[in-house]
Homo-oligomer: A and B are copies of this chain.
Amino acid sequence: MLLFKTDAIVEGIHFPKTTPPEKIGHKALGRCLSDIAAMAGTPTAALVTLALPRDFDPGFVEAIYAGLNALARRHEVAIVGGETTTNPERMLISVSVLGTVAKGKCALRSGALAGDAIFVTGELGGSLSGKHLEFEPRLAEARWLAENFSPHAMMDISDGLAGDLRHLLQASRAGAELLSSAVPISRVVRGRRREETGDGARPQAPPPHTGGYKPPLLAALTDGEDFELLFTVGSQHAVPLLDAWKKHFPKLPLSCIGKVTAGSGMTIRDKHEIRPLTAHGYTHFA
């Protein structure tokens, strides 16, 4: 079965003007590869469109391609063409990727079943501190999962765990109950000083002009651009999966963060209470 995905990144929106060009190239291709990983596919060929201001520096463009090519080589993707055009005010890079997946192995968002265990790879939150320009698409991991544990539903996390889990559950017509202590919070977020993280409980945007941060759990649930895998498997596979994962991918954490439920609600539970979870975070009951 053929997979066909496209994704564009824009200067000043998806990356700051000061981003090293290699990382721009990496991110442009990486986002498409993460989409292919989400379906347990194997990317084969890519086309790259660079839309550049008229006064672009050819060395800068070569460095974009260097970042892009390094990632492509690592995952055996052929950059088969593309074009350069003009976008006077800012750089825009659009990448299209072709991939393949065996018909029975393609993972969709829509297959989660009540009772499934919900997993995420890696650690979540704080991606804008650097990971969003350096993440490794979880291609090998996704294929291994499809081959060995047939996830009922899978996707990559680009909008944040809470928002993307909402997408997966809507497609599957199901709900979920998460355990707050099981959500893997990234080192970057955990390392932020306590006084910067607000009261650590109520959801809040960073205070304007102070550079303050969301509480760590909220950051992990909503920051986005994690490019990790979110998937569900039948609960009987949860423990064997965790055991086998440790052997195959010892460097990448895998976390069981909760379970799929009947109905359509999302909740998150900690020691003290169960709170409703929305795409934008959790709220206290009034």
Contacts and interface: CB of A to CB of B under 8 A. Distances in A.
Interface of A: 2, 4-10, 12-14, 45, 47, 49, 51, 80-83, 85-90, 92, 94, 96, 98
Contact of A6 (B9, B10, B83, B86): B83
Most interface-central of A8, A47, A88 (chain B CB within 10 A): A8
Contact of A49 (B8, B88, B90): B8
Given A10-B51, A10-B86, 6 more contacts: A6-B49, A6-B94, A7-B83, A89-B89, A96-B96, A98-B98
A228 to B, nearest CB: 20
A49 B51 CA distance: 13
Given A92-B92, A94-B94, A98-B98, A47 B5 contact: yes
Contacts of A85: 8-10, 13-14
A208 to B, nearest CB: 20
B87 A6 contact: no
A45 B81 contact: no
Contacts of A14: 85
Given A2-B98, A96-B96, A98-B2, A51 B8 contact: yes
A13 B89 CA distance: 13
Given A92-B92, A98-B98, A87 B2 contact: no
A101 to B, nearest CB: 15
A50 to B, nearest CB: 9
Nearest to A89: B89
